[in-house]
Amino acid sequence: MTRTSLHPATLAAQALGSTDATTGGIVLPIYTATTFLRDPDNQYRRGRSYARADNPSYDQPQALLTALEGGAASLLFSSGMAAAASVFQSLPRGSHVVAPQIMYWGLRSWLRNFAESGGIGVDFVDATSLDALRRAVRPGLTRLIWVETPANPLWSVTDIAGSAEIAHAAGALLAVDSTVATPVLTRPLALGADLVMHSATKYLNGHSDVIAGTLTIAREDPFWERLRVARSSGGAILGSFEAYLLLRGMRTLFPRVERACRSAQQIADAISQHPRVLEVLYPGLPGHRGHMVAARQMTGGFGGMLSLRVRGGTSAAIGAAARVKIWKRATSLGGVESLIEHRASVEGADSPVPRDLLRLSVGIEDPEDLVADLQAALDE
């Protein structure tokens, strides 16, 4: 079988099957060199000059992500925020951008505080509505529609294919933050997106020990060249050891995400029946507003993230989070351990998140233990 005919889970597990040519090691070495030798005639025929622009430790994780996303090329960044910011910073001054009202709060805050000073206009809309997206587009000015699906922390779902049609009709690009879906569940480029971003800190790494970000492009074009230059000149680069840890995490991406999806569905089904739970927000529930779109564009599950709203408001939600024993009260998501947090406390006073909401990141523990822990915390 050729590499292109292999299942993505096989490509991930074997990290594309590359081995060390010198030793035969099945794990490639970590390249720590910051600079590389010129040829006697002052050329760089081996393709390396300086690690800030081109680190050999990036080659395999970038190639693997490109294969998993079905893209043309990928870039690693020092964080998800660095990857996302580089997209907006690479747009021409005077560009207009459409972004979702519900999205990762750090990026929403950055757009509000810094995009305008960088010459970028931003409109925030309900991205679950294609009509809202269509109305927000400014012909001749809109250069980018940015969507996140499922969107943190309400897990609202955006129709990627429909969004791509709207963007392309306006001469704009569609970028998708697919951190929560991962390539295991959704391949946005195959649905018409031009660019996919991941906070690789989360599921791609999966062990809560690396901060990283990624971009994958549908085609290598002038905008992609601007992104490459933005990473190099801006210095938003990942360390060699972090690149190694990221690749190691990506090798177990499929079993981790598949397990988290199964557990999240089981937890959502069980906890939605609890009398102290006002609502469970999870795309896998038939009553979820975005369930039908999610079922169409996600395969193999609906993700490992869910949120629940606790009857009794802020104090009841914070109290329940304080009583869990297995779930860890911590920010972030996508690790092997299950996390819980009162999200509005993190996002601040201008957050659109309900004050009674708890965000849950489901790990790979036994789901029955996780359900029992939640139920006990809610019962007290």
> 12: closest CA among 235, 195, 204?
204
Residue of 52, 248, 311, 328 with catalytic role: 52
Radius of gyration of the chain (CA): 21
CATH number for 3-250 (one of 3.40.630.30, 3.40.50.1260, 3.40.640.10, 3.40.50.150): it is 3.40.640.10
Residue of 58, 104, 203, 282 with catalytic role: 104
pLDDT of residue 160: 98
pLDDT of residue 45: 84
Q: Where in the chain is the domain with CATH 3.40.640.10?
A: 3-250
Q: No. of H helices and E strands in the chain?
A: 14, 12
d(CA 322, CA 276): 15
pLDDT of residue 47: 84
d(CA 178, CA 70): 14
Residue by residue, pLDDT tens for the chain (380 residues) are 456 689 999 999 999 998 988 999 999 999 999 999 999 998 888 888 888 988 999 999 999 999 999 999 999 999 999 999 999 999 999 999 999 999 999 999 999 999 878 889 999 999 999 999 999 999 899 999 999 999 999 999 999 999 999 999 999 999 999 999 999 999 999 999 999 999 999 999 999 999 999 999 999 999 999 999 999 999 999 999 999 999 999 999 999 999 999 999 999 999 999 999 999 999 999 999 999 999 999 999 999 999 999 999 999 999 999 999 999 999 999 999 999 999 999 888 888 899 999 999 999 999 999 999 999 999 97
The CA-atom distances, in angstroms, between 317 and each of 104, 157, 183, 219, 344 are 21, 24, 32, 45, 11
Q: Where in the chain is the domain with CATH 3.90.1150.10?
A: 254-379
d(CA 51, CA 228): 13
pLDDT of residue 2: 55
Reported pTM: 0.96
Beta strands in 319-369 (DSSP E): 328-329, 339-342, 357-361
pLDDT of residue 190: 98
CATH number for 254-379 (one of 3.40.50.720, 3.90.1150.10, 3.40.50.300, 3.30.420.40): it is 3.90.1150.10
* Apex 145 CA angle, 138 and 163, nearest 5: 100
Residue of 108, 143, 202, 256 with catalytic role: 202
Say whether 202 is catalytic: yes
Say whether 58 is catalytic: no
d(CA 134, CA 82): 28
Label the pairing between strands 213-217 and 277-281. Answer: unpaired
192 contacts 161 by C-beta, under 8 angstroms: yes
pLDDT of residue 49: 87
* CB within 8 Å of 87: residues ≥ 6 apart: 144, 146, 175, 195, 197, 215, 227
Beta bridge partners of 146: 175
Residue of 108, 159, 177, 256 with catalytic role: 177
